[in-house]
């Protein structure tokens, strides 16, 4: 569990990031989950766009993904969501 100050620091880092991943009309599939798992291993902090055609809302997507990926939900604004998971080996982001 991260504190509100840590969450604020992660939001500040994510503010300048471009969304690298999208959740499309099929929603949160196992393939999407696997891809995001690899991305969290590599980056620790990722920004995702939930398309308008998606069958889930951004709020639903962040809940599903944070549970499946064992990641911390950082932010959900509009159709953009941000997830954080500390790397097991050699963490890049120090909180």
Mean pLDDT by 10 residues, the chain (95 residues): 90 92 91 93 92 92 93 94 87 72
Q: What residue spans of the chain are helical by DSSP H? A: 4-15, 30-43, 58-69
pTM of the model: 0.89
Question: pLDDT per residue over 16-38, tens digit each?
Answer: 999 999 999 988 999 999 999 99
Return the biggest CA–CA distance within the chain: 37
Which residue reads 């159709």 in tokens?
79
The domains located in the chain, with CATH, are: 4-84 (3.30.110.60)
CB-CB contact of 16 with 80 (8 Å): no
- List 94's β-bridge partners, or say none: none
Q: Identify the pLDDT of residue 87.
A: 81
- Collapsing DSSP to helix, strand or coil, 83 comes out as strand
């Amino acid at each position: 569990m991260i504190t509100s100050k840590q969450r604020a620091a992660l939001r500040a880092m994510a503010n300048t990031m471009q969304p690298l991943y999208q959740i499309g009309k099929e929603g949160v599939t196992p393939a999407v989950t696997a891809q995001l798992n690899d991305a969290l291993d590599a980056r620790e902090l990722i920004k995702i766009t939930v398309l308008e055609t998606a069958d889930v809302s951004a709020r639903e997507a962040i809940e599903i993904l944070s549970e499946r990926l064992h990641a911390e939900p950082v932010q959900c604004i509009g159709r953009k969501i941000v997830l954080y998971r500390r790397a097991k080996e050699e963490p890049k982001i120090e909180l």
